[in-house]
Structure 1
Amino acid sequence: MATKGWDRLAPKLAATADRVRSLEWAPDRRNSFVPYTVERDSAYADLDGERLLLMSGYSYLGLAGDERVVAAAQSAAAHYGTGNHGVRALAGSIPLHEELESEVASIAEREAAIVFGSGYAANVGTIGALVGPGDTVLVDKYAHASIVDGCRLSGATVVRFRHNDAEHLDRRLAAATGDGVRLVIVDSVYSMDGDVAPLPRLREICDAHDALLMVDEAHALGVIGATGRGIEEHFEGRVRVDVKLGTLSKAVPSMGGWVAGTRELITHLRYAARPFLFSAALAPAQCGAALESLRILRREPERVAHIQRESARFAALVRAGGIGTGDSETAVVPLIAGSDEAAYDLATTARRLGVIGLPVVTPAVPRDLARLRIAITARHTAADIDFAATAFLKAAEECGITTGERARTADAVR
């Protein structure tokens, strides 16, 4: 072992260990990397023999344990095996990949689609295939880490603009120089805040500056829009984006990422997106589960209506009790706690009261805006929502997070 090399790395490792100890210093304060056993037919999970209501899971449509989805995954594995023979460009493609991509394209209302091994790979690969040195990519300040990493790795000039501030984007684009590609990237629904990108105004600004508009639908598919088709449907089809991208691991309970667009775009990505070209093909069971889930989304839009109704009700209940939720208007409802320590205390107390609400702390969110990130799903009954809201409000009171402090923190988010 290169001892001196490890000596140089030691301060980074020690700093991480110290931070973990400061937040999770006792067994009853465990919140991160906890192996919950989630029940297949409800929103409850088991931890050390205790049954707890899970309020921070991302299976929005409630399909993770659906018998139809499980059967589809089993059937695909039985027919094609547990894995493929390599990358899609060589021996890794199977008919199920094409069937899944066709369904994605149909749901996204685009000519074609491509499926990656993960949503992270989809973002990094797509951005790198669309822009490079000499081009400019403009990114919302709160965009997902995979978007930020894709921009940095692309070699393009990266410009950030204030969160959901279309006028700031307008000024940034006006100041951009060069004749290269201009690409604007936003999340449809922001995973930490639950707010929605101002798509109509973004479209106007992009058109005025000859820029392309790409949106990440990770937390939008199955959640917003009358039938859960995402941000374009949310705005009643008044505006379209140039590149739609998302994941198959949230509302769709599988793995993988997808991109939908014109046939020319998808052909380009097949040959130019490095994570697609140089990563193993999506496994058959994952394809089968994803495909069946998308078909259920088509057949059962009432799941989407339930999510939207109960999300609004939960947010109203906790806000009425004084907990700040920022600008959330979707299934993601942040419960703002303040400091990192306060978020961990709130999560620990809520768990003692029977509810799992997991903390999100710096650097994932700005300092002093740590929160519990709550996600409402189709598995949450009305009774679950009432129980959870009551538990979180009681936990906030016990932790001494006063109404005034929560209100001020909520204002800071805006």
Structure 2
Amino acid sequence: MALTTLQNELMAELEAIRAAGRWRELRLAQAPPTVTFLHSGRRWVNFSSNDYLGLATHPRLIAAAQAATARWGTGATASRLICGTLALHADLEAALVNFKVGGRSGYRALLFNSGYHANLSLLTALADARDVVFSDALNHASLIDGCRLSRATVVVYRHNDVDDLRAKVAAHRQARRKLIVTDAVFSMDGDVARLSELLEVAEAAGAWVALDEAHATGVLGPGGRGLAATLAQDDRPLIAMGTLGKALGSFGAFVVAPSVVIELLINRARPFIFTTALPPAPAAAALEAVRMLTESDELTRALRANIVRMATALGFEPTWPTPIFPILFGTEQATLAAMQALDERGFYVVGIRPPTVPPGASRLRLTVTAAHTEAQIAAVADAIQSLPRPAPSQ
């Protein structure tokens, strides 16, 4: 009887989700989802991937993963603190320090199994009930959850509004520890944090900035080194997180920070301590991706060229900074209709609806990669321009 009651309750909840136009379902890819997406025997041009540099199927990454599997096996066999720290992990962590902060003395990197794990780890290790965390209103869910789990006082400031942040920081000067938390690139809007100004606020208040570079690593900065790499970083109160599974084409995540922060994470971060370490294959693939970006900026330049092409074709400013293009439609129903219209023309562009975005802000989220052709970009832009007119893009 209890099981039947639970099933009925859950079915009612699912029906409410469907009625609101917020139903989600899995689409099975029958081939690697590169610039095309094969599903149910049909192929679309794919403008929804986070594989910004096209590295996920690059022969060098595949070869590196295969070689690592042959040498190290398929799993790390244990957590990092037991016997799961491989020489391969240390090599990747050293490469990430060089890539992100130029090998700066006193800095280290630490690997995690996902960006979600990295953000939960950092926030719950650094902050507790004695502290205040200032969080951008449009931060990623993993940052929001990390703030909640930390038990710190969480103060949300208006999106990218440094004046609002400054006022709220001033009202909490007596906190033991103050942490300003922000995405570098906001994944649903494609805009970029005002990092230089955030650091000025932090330095004036004795705070730190925790910067999530999930969509900035491999995309922004010289050679794809991220938003933080656009600034002089000596002695700046900055901790950077990033992922290996977006532009770097692999899987996993990392934190780059002063050594004392890394030691704290090793000793206190529960998502790091209580899980099996990152497997050899994705670690090796990520290491090869970092080496490729260190050797040449060809891929990041190709991505930048395609961002400019897409921005121009869609009517965004040519200086649009990221490969993420939000096309707002407002309602869930209008967004789903637009997605279906593009589907019928052979384009896979995912509609984003609440709770991922606020009510009334449903949109198509189009992403461009270095691997897209000029013809593909022109064609999808033409298809979008022909849709029933949406609300103005952000």
Q: Tell me if structure 1 keeps the 8 A contact 2:203–2:237.
A: no
Summarize deviations over 1:60-86 as a string: whole Å, max 9, x none: 110111111011111111111111221
Query: How far did residue 46 of structure 1 move?
Result: 1.4
| SS of residue matched to 2:154 | strand
| SS of residue matched to 1:88 | coil
Query: How far did residue 9 of structure 1 move?
Result: 7.0
Q: Tell me if structure 1 keeps the 8 A contact 2:30–2:40.
A: no
Q: Tell me if structure 1 keeps the 8 A contact 2:308–2:320.
A: no
**What is the alpha-carbon root mean square deviation over aligned residues?**
2.2
What amino acid sits opposite 1:83 in the alignment?
A: G
* Pick aligned residue for 1:306 from 284, 296, 302: 302
Q: Tell me if structure 1 keeps the 8 A contact 2:108–2:262.
A: yes
Residue of structure 1 equivalent to 2:81: 89
CA distance in 2, matches of 1:112, 1:297: 19
1:138 lines up with 2:138 in the alignment: no
Residue of structure 2 equivalent to 1:14: 12
Residue of structure 2 equivalent to 1:354: 346
Q: Tell me if structure 1 keeps the 8 A contact 2:314–2:381.
A: yes
1:388 lines up with 2:384 in the alignment: no
Residue of structure 2 equivalent to 1:175: 171
Query: How far did residue 164 of structure 1 move?
Result: 0.2
Summarize the alignment of residues 120-269 of structure 1 with structure 2, pairs less than 5 Å apart: 120-235=116-231, 240-269=236-265
Residue of structure 2 equivalent to 1:70: 62
Summarize the alignment of residues 306-325 of structure 1 with structure 2, pairs less than 5 Å apart: 306-319=302-315
* Pick aligned residue for 1:33 from 12, 26, 33: 26
Q: Tell me if structure 1 keeps the 8 A contact 2:309–2:374.
A: no
Query: How far did residue 243 of structure 1 move?
Result: 0.5
Q: Tell me if structure 2 keeps the 8 A contact 1:134–1:178.
A: no
Q: Tell me if structure 1 keeps the 8 A contact 2:239–2:257.
A: yes
| SS of residue matched to 1:137 | strand
Mark the CA change 1:256 to 1:315 in structure 2 (over 3 Å): closer, same or farther: same
Summarize deviations over 1:210-252 as a string: whole Å, max 9, x none: 1111100000011111311111234576995520001111011
Mark the CA change 1:283 to 1:24 in structure 2 (over 3 Å): closer, same or farther: same
What amino acid sits opposite 2:126 in the alignment?
A: L
| SS of residue matched to 2:291 | helix
Residue of structure 2 equivalent to 1:28: none
1:406 lines up with 2:391 in the alignment: yes
What amino acid sits opposite 2:391 in the alignment?
A: R
Query: How far did residue 22 of structure 1 move?
Result: 5.7
Mark the CA change 1:179 to 1:338 in structure 2 (over 3 Å): closer, same or farther: closer
Residue of structure 1 equivalent to 2:108: 112
What amino acid sits opposite 2:9 in the alignment?
A: P
| SS of residue matched to 1:245 | strand
Moved more, 248-257 or 42-51: 42-51
What amino acid sits opposite 1:290 in the alignment?
A: A
CA distance in 1, matches of 2:243, 2:237: 17
Summarize deviations over 1:271-303 as a string: whole Å, max 9, x none: 111111101100011111111111112123121
| SS of residue matched to 1:70 | helix
Query: How far did residue 14 of structure 1 move?
Result: 2.1
What amino acid sits opposite 1:350 in the alignment?
A: L
Query: How far did residue 316 of structure 1 move?
Result: 2.2
What amino acid sits opposite 1:80 in the alignment?
A: W
Q: Tell me if structure 1 keeps the 8 A contact 2:51–2:246.
A: yes
Mark the CA change 1:241 to 1:70 in structure 2 (over 3 Å): closer, same or farther: farther
TM norm structure 2:
0.93
Query: How far did residue 381 of structure 1 move?
Result: 1.5
| SS of residue matched to 2:315 | helix
Aligned positions, number? 389
Summarize deviations over 1:113-166 as a string: whole Å, max 9, x none: 000111100000111110001111010000000000001001111110000000
What amino acid sits opposite 1:256 in the alignment?
A: G
Query: How far did residue 54 of structure 1 move?
Result: 0.3
CA distance in 2, matches of 1:384, 1:234: 31
What amino acid sits opposite 1:77 in the alignment?
A: T
Q: Tell me if structure 2 keeps the 8 A contact 1:232–1:240.
A: no
Summarize deviations over 1:373-398 as a string: whole Å, max 9, x none: 1111111121221121112223x1xx
Would you identify which runs of 4 or more consecutive aligned residues in structure 1 move more than 4 Å?
235-241
Question: For structure 2, which runs of at least 5 residues remain unmatched after alignment?
Answer: none
Moved more, 58-67 or 229-238: 229-238
Q: Tell me if structure 2 keeps the 8 A contact 1:182–1:210.
A: yes
| SS of residue matched to 1:260 | strand
Summarize the alignment of residues 277-292 of structure 1 with structure 2, pairs less than 5 Å apart: 277-292=273-288
CA distance in 2, matches of 1:391, 1:37: 25
CA distance in 2, matches of 1:179, 1:241: 17
Mark the CA change 1:382 to 1:209 in structure 2 (over 3 Å): closer, same or farther: same
Query: How far did residue 13 of structure 1 move?
Result: 4.4
CA distance in 2, matches of 1:377, 1:303: 10
CA distance in 2, matches of 1:118, 1:223: 19
Q: Tell me if structure 1 keeps the 8 A contact 2:173–2:205.
A: no
Mark the CA change 1:244 to 1:24 in structure 2 (over 3 Å): closer, same or farther: closer
| SS of residue matched to 2:224 | coil
Mark the CA change 1:275 to 1:173 in structure 2 (over 3 Å): closer, same or farther: same
| SS of residue matched to 1:191 | coil
